[in-house]
Amino acid sequence: MKSYLAAAVQMNSLPDIEKNLVQAEDLIDLAVRQGAQLIGLPENFSFMGDEADKLAQAEAIATQSEKFLRTMAQRYQVTLLGGGFPVPTSDGKVYNTALLMGPEGQELARYQKVHLFDVNLPDGNTYHESSTVTAGTHLPGIYASPDLGNLGLSVCYDVRFPELYRHLSKLGAEVLFIPAAFTAYTGKDHWQILLQARAIENTCYVIAPAQTGKHYAMRQTHGNASIIDPWGMVLANAGQKPGVAIAAIEPSRLGQVRRQMPSLEHRVFA
């Protein structure tokens, strides 16, 4: 693992895949021009709209999203995460799929979101992700990169389930991806503290791309895409507007924190 710059992209995706991919390309270009070698796009980067429309367009969204990720990774010679897009299943639903692409356009890792967001919030919004999404059945693995470190994947609501990240840390994860479309209502109280908790308890870097602003109907997301170090320090935050949060991933810092706080070595329960 070498020192490098990583970017957490922040988007305002809409029910228009073409516009979303133009926005994503502009932000990838911005990150690359600032030196980023590892770039994460948020959940729903290619489409964020009504669930019925998502299902109706799922095949096209999946095809265009994967092609886009492959093209961008090759064009810019970066490792690129698509933090969540629908991939049709045999049961008429979709998997919420995170896909990591390498600089040659090769698939490095794929993860199907296992924790689905079925919640009634006090602000009047109801979310029932399982009505259109089939939960993945496998825990995520890690992708071991000689240059970028051991990368672990997750998606949004997963952040509330620390056992998933403990699984990744036991596999040797050093950098955790947590791409999200976090609701504005829950985000104001929970987003940053959850990200910091996952970083601290696993002594890992966290890269958290995010959606921000108003999208469709009443849907509004929290923003604040972030990169957090293994001590829980927020290294970069994108605020409320589309943009990028960029920070250095430093193996020396990772080693320092793990020496000073060797909690992973002190685990009693598996």
**Which residues are known catalytic residues?**
43, 113, 156
Beta-bridged to residue 220, according to DSSP, are 214
| Residues comprising the chain, all counted | 270
DSSP three-state, residue 237:
strand
Tell me the two tokens of residue 229.
């170090």
The pairing of beta strand 4-11 with beta strand 36-41? parallel
Dihedral sign, Cα of residue 53, residue 63, residue 175, residue 270: positive
236 Cβ neighbours under 8 A, 6+ residues apart: 8, 226, 227, 245, 246, 247
Beta-bridged to residue 236, according to DSSP, are 227
Whether residue 86 contacts residue 95, with contact meaning beta carbons closer than 8 Å, is answered with yes
**Pick from 260, 203, 211, 251: which is nearest to 228 by CA?**
203
What does the alpha-carbon distance between residue 150 and residue 222 come to, in Å, rounded to a whole number? 28
